[in-house]
Amino acid sequence: KMVAEPVNVNEFRELARRALPKMYYDFYNGGAEDQYTLKENEEAFAKIVILPRILRDVSGINLSTTVLGYNISMPVMIAPTSMHKLANPAGEIATARAASACKTIMVLSNSSTCTLEEVAACCNAVRFFQLYVYKRRDISAKLVQRAEINGYKAIVLTADSPRIGRREADIKNKIVVPQPKNLEGLLSTKFVSDRGSGVEALANGTNDPSFCWEDIPWLKSITNLPILIKGVLTHEDAIKALEVGVAGIIVSNHGARQLDYSPATISVLEEVVHAVGGKVPVFLDGGVRRGTDIFKAVALGAQAVLVGRPVLYGLAAKGEYGVRQVLEMLMDELELTMALSGCSSVKEITRSHVRTKHEQLL
Ligand code: FNR
């Protein structure tokens, strides 16, 4: 079959599938266990309808917004995803350059295949650094320090991974992955598996399952950077996050790779937004594949969304250019959605522009 020019993000997924060895495609694409949440992340978006307003002047659409005071071209950022060199030899450097070209923020994964220093040196995108807290607290502290020295503007603490979710494709494929580049020279132990998932061996070998709310003051004590907490899905945890003084909340189920049967992120966004009451910005990731999805998340209170797999699909299919194309597609789709809905700026997208599944039954 001929590979035509992709016209949407889902077609990039197909290109990625053809470009990658099965082991890596399954790693990028898959979720945990039954993959119920994986399907739900996308399907919950599909159940929300958009209520357009007609006869507005939409001759000029402004997609720009701010995140922690930084201007970005659209309410879309790059989610932290691990090991970009499995998709393309340029790895995270290609992704960072695409983020820079599209004037958006890249969150670099703790588990990257380029060092955080290499990524900092390659472009002038605004970058945040995603952190897993390790059993070796001293190594995590060192990473935070290196991120701060190298101009990363925030720490994104991923809080949904005390242990790694059960990703059955990786277990079956006996996936083998490189040790994280940022840990070179810091870890004396190599966490590998001679059976089952190498990702699991690595994550469960390094991540500290005892890290909890009471330890956040330690994290705050070692850095001046603002801390965003990633993995909030309930109003209880949103309130706890406010109490410990985070600068922002990311509603995320880790792209359905951790707890299966956790809710679709878009279905709990509003609960979190209400609990937060405007005190800090709320972001969302999981299942964003269309401009209409971005519009729906913004209407339900997200300051911006993040995309994980779409970026990996672009990277696997066409490298840096593919990531740019994916971001531009989302941008073009959002612009058209706004025009057809009568919104000429992101601020004009309101709660009254969407109707959720529940509201449609009333
Ligand atoms: C991730 N995600 C992730 N999150 C994180 O905090 N640190 C990480 O290293 C990774 N690694 C990772 C690898 C791969 C292959 C995927 C698909 C995801 C989760 C990521 O940040 C984000 O929450 C989801 O990807 C969002 O869902 P979508 O956009 O992929 O549907």
Rounded (10°) angle between helices 291-299 and 36-46: 80
Between the CA of 308 and the centroid of ligand 1 the distance, in Å, is: 5
Q: Does 288 appear as a known binding residue?
A: yes
From the CB of 307, is ligand 1 less than 6 Å away?
yes
pLDDT at 361: 79
pLDDT at 305: 99
Q: Does 60 appear as a known binding residue?
A: no
Residue pLDDT tens, the chain, 362 long: 556 899 999 999 999 999 999 999 999 999 999 999 999 999 999 999 999 999 999 999 999 999 999 999 999 999 999 999 999 999 999 999 999 999 999 999 999 999 999 999 999 999 999 999 999 999 999 999 999 999 999 999 999 999 999 999 999 999 999 988 999 988 878 888 777 898 998 888 899 999 999 999 999 999 999 999 999 999 999 999 999 999 999 999 999 999 999 999 999 999 999 999 999 999 999 999 999 999 999 999 999 999 999 999 999 999 999 999 999 999 999 999 999 999 999 999 999 999 999 898 77
From the CB of 267, is ligand 1 less than 6 Å away?
no
pLDDT at 1: 54
What does the pLDDT look like over 127-183, one tens digit per residue?
999 999 999 999 999 999 999 999 999 999 999 999 999 999 999 999 999 988 999
pLDDT at 70: 98
Considering all CA atoms of the chain, what is the largest pairwise distance in Å, rounded to the nearest integer?
65
Between the CA of 130 and the centroid of ligand 1 the distance, in Å, is: 11
From the CB of 207, is ligand 1 less than 6 Å away?
no
Between the CA of 359 and the centroid of ligand 1 the distance, in Å, is: 30
Between the CA of 41 and the centroid of ligand 1 the distance, in Å, is: 13
pLDDT at 191: 84
Question: What is the full DSSP assignment across 12-59?
Answer: HHHHHHHHS-HHHHHHHH--STT-HHHHHHHHHHHT-EE----S---S
From the CB of 167, is ligand 1 less than 6 Å away?
no
Cβ neighbours of residue 237 closer than 8 Å, sequence gap 6 or more? none
Give the bridge partners for 207, in sequence order.
134
pLDDT at 170: 95
Q: Does 252 appear as a known binding residue?
A: yes
Q: Does 285 appear as a known binding residue?
A: yes
209 and 163 Cβ atoms separated by less than 8 Å: yes
Q: Is residue 11 helix, strand or coil?
A: helix
From the CB of 130, is ligand 1 less than 6 Å away?
yes
The verdict on pTM exceeding 0.90 is: yes
pLDDT at 189: 81
Q: Which residues of 218-235 are buried (b: 16+ CB within 10 A; e: fewer)?
A: ebbeebebbbbbbbbbeb
Ligand 1 atom closest to 253 (CA): 23
Active-site residues, by number, are: 254
Ligand 1 atom closest to 286 (CA): 27
Between the CA of 121 and the centroid of ligand 1 the distance, in Å, is: 23
Of 257, 312, 315, the one to substitute when testing ligand 1's pocket (max ligand atoms within 8 A of C-beta) is 257
CA dihedral 82, 87, 92, 94 (to 10 degrees): -160
